[in-house]
Amino acid sequence: MDRQRDVAALRREYADHGLAESDLAADPMTMFGRWFDDARAAGLHEPNAMVLATVSPHGQPSSRMVLLKGASDEGLVFFTNVRSRKGEDLAAEPRCALLFPWHPLERQVRVEGPAAVLPPADVAAYFATRPRGSRLGAHASHQSRVVASRAELDAAYAQAEKAFPDEVPVPEEWGGYRVRPEVVEFWQGRPGRMHDRLVYRRSGDGWRTERLAP
Ligand SMILES: Cc1cc2nc3c(=O)[nH]c(=O)nc-3n(C[C@H](O)[C@H](O)[C@H](O)COP(=O)(O)O)c2cc1C
């Protein structure tokens, strides 16, 4: 069975079985881990790619993809430029939303919660694992700022290459965030648009769950 049919078979299996209250783990991050494993096992391209939505101080929403680089009870981690558009948004309004669009499986996971800046030690540890090219690029790109031309960008990269022949330090603008989930929805496509939507909401020290109409 090739991968394409694998995914089709899985999608059908999930759609037939659906998502029942009895399928839910006690907490959303355990549940997320199960679905993430399914997405990986199905061979989805970059299952850790998620849409991050932020809102500006003027109330303008914006969204973009970022890569999930860590998931635990504390939350979901991604790395970026903290002075980028998203970084400026999060500095003013930490509440944000994440979406995992696993549509080949007819699944999506939606997360809402505040994003907290990661400690510098965590950022440095991750930065060190990145390929040299990405580390240099992080120095050359003042993410979201207007650049005059491609040539200007290329010159900035060449300059970074020269400035850091060996070690590449963490750029001052570079950092990461951990989104602490307050609301997590698991969406499973079902026939006839009668999809399953089960939502976890933080409640005291634990979680309560509810079902939403599709
Ligand atoms: C699949 C995919 C993964 C991406 N991952 C990241 C990421 O982890 N961090 C990041 O800063 N940008 C990432 N990007 C680029 C962002 O989507 C975006 O262009 C950039 O962060 C600037 O966004 P902003 O101007 O809204 O801040 C990714 C793009 C794609 C298509």
Choose one of 52, 63, 69, 80 to mutate for the ligand 1 pocket test, by most ligand atoms within 8 angstroms of C-beta: 80
Q: Determine which one of 83, 193, 208, 211 is catalytic.
A: 193
Q: Residue 22 pLDDT more than 80?
A: yes
| pLDDT, mean of residues 138-162 | 97
How close is the Cα of 177 to the center of ligand 1, in Å? 13
Average pLDDT of the chain, as a whole number: 96
Tell whether ligand 1 has an atom less than 6 A from the beta carbon of residue 126. no
Band of pLDDT at residue 6, cut at 50, 70 and 90: confident
Choose one of 67, 139, 142 to mutate for the ligand 1 pocket test, by most ligand atoms within 8 angstroms of C-beta: 67
What is residue 189's predicted lDDT score, i.e. its pLDDT?
97
How close is the Cα of 87 to the center of ligand 1, in Å? 11
Tell whether ligand 1 has an atom less than 6 A from the beta carbon of residue 46. yes
Q: Give the residue among 178, 177, 179 at the shortest CA–CA distance from 84.
A: 177
pLDDT digits (tens, 9 = 90+) for 165-213: 999 999 999 999 999 999 999 999 999 999 999 999 999 999 999 999 9
Strand partners, 198: 186, 211
Token digits of residue 15: 């759609």
